[in-house]
Amino acid sequence: MAEKRDYYEVLGVAKTATADEIKKAYRKKAIQYHPDKNPGDKEAEEKFKEAAEAYDVLGNEEKRRKYDQFGHAAFNGQAGPDFSQGFGNINDILNDLFGGGGFGGFNFGGGFGGQQSGPRVYRGRDIRTRVSLTLEEIANGCEKEVSIERQVPCPDCHGKGAVNDSDIKTCPACGGTGQVKRVVNSFFGQTVQYSTCQQCGGDGKVISKPCHSCNGTGLVRKRETIKVKIPAGVEEGMQVTMRGGGHAGKNNGQNGDLLILIQEIKHPELVRDGNNLVYTKILSVTEAILGADIEVPCIGGKTKVHVEPGTQSGQTMRVRGKGLPTVNGYGNGDLIVKFIVFIPKKINREEKELVEKLAQSESFKPDTKNDKSFFDKLKDMFN
């Protein structure tokens, strides 16, 4: 697959564009590349889809924020409206956006995708759920089980709405197409406009004896446990999409999606900062002066670090690659160990004498001249 273009570039707007500017830009592209205006033009069709995908993300506050943060990786390359069922969905979006009347309605009759004739295919609704993950699960990626109640095809009528096929009749009003057609004068000239058949509600069929289990809807609710794969590197507030994991669609339509919101469980010792992990280590005065080999917690256990002699309170050390992976799979963050030196509050007489002796020593007087840059950094930290 070719490299995906930047969504802002696709719509020709600045990264700082307002929601209104984005909507206007999309409207322009949608008119320009609309298949009604460019019959048989594959390139226009691609451009039209590309713009729709870009708008699907940038037109949604939450998706846009994620895109700004993670780029295309935020959606695993699966952003955008689904065109696998023809252009039914995008029609709804456009009509929703600009009003059905303004353009004479968006529809794709004759030859374009060939989806217009035939009963309406419903897409099932999405289901939202959440999972709580430990840092270890986030670091490695994991599989979680979630329990959801969703609509599934009725087992008694196999989703058809009637147990016997003879109880399902083609709708006499629309002849099974689910739509009635009329010609209107519009923006583009004369356009064929389709509207949903009133008699069958777009299903294209009427059921004389509905199935008892589902009242003719073809769907029943069922509680199910589903395994979802969570990629490594996700973070609080991100959403993982499981295509087709939502409610089943009416008329054996496409399933909705399962949208899984990520929540993080706080680690007892490590604090997350982007893809880095921060651990605060308290050193004794002697460790700070003499240096030490210590162990610090990291994902999946402990790691050894060497504390240099003369380590200052507030100093940090970076252990490369011991942080969390990035969600798009490029590298790892670091483990940052922050040192705080513990100064004893109570000491006995003997210790006091020792410290008083040390107090005379030149080495124990702060060397602010030679360590100026370090102390400046410290001061900055507290400002």
Tell me how far, at minimum, the Cβ of 171 lies from Zn ion, in Å. 3
Tell me how far, at minimum, the Cβ of 163 lies from Zn ion, in Å. 7
Tell me how far, at minimum, the Cβ of 47 lies from Zn ion, in Å. 34
- Give the C-alpha separation, 43 to 54, whole Å: 16
Q: Give Cα separations from 13 to 7, 9, 29, 50 (angstroms).
A: 9, 6, 12, 14
Tell me how far, at minimum, the Cβ of 180 lies from Zn ion, in Å. 8
DSSP 3-state helix, strand, coil percentages of the chain (rounded to 5)?
Answer: 25, 30, 45
Angle between helices 42-58 and 19-32 (to 10 degrees): 170
- Residue 142: its H or E element: strand 142-153
Tell me how far, at minimum, the Cβ of 151 lies from Zn ion, in Å. 12
Q: Residue 367: helix, strand or coil by DSSP? A: coil
Which CB sits closer to Zn ion, 25 or 211? 211
Tell me how far, at minimum, the Cβ of 59 lies from Zn ion, in Å. 33
Which CB sits closer to Zn ion, 36 or 203? 203
Which CB sits closer to Zn ion, 135 or 200? 200
DSSP H helical ranges for 33-175: 42-58, 61-70, 88-98, 135-140
Which CB sits closer to Zn ion, 44 or 173? 173
Half-sphere exposure of 276 toward its Cβ, with a 13 Å CA cutoff? Answer: 13
Which CB sits closer to Zn ion, 30 or 174? 174
Rule CB under 5 A: which residues touch Zn ion? 154, 156-157, 171, 173-174, 197, 199-200, 211, 213-214
Which CB sits closer to Zn ion, 168 or 242? 168
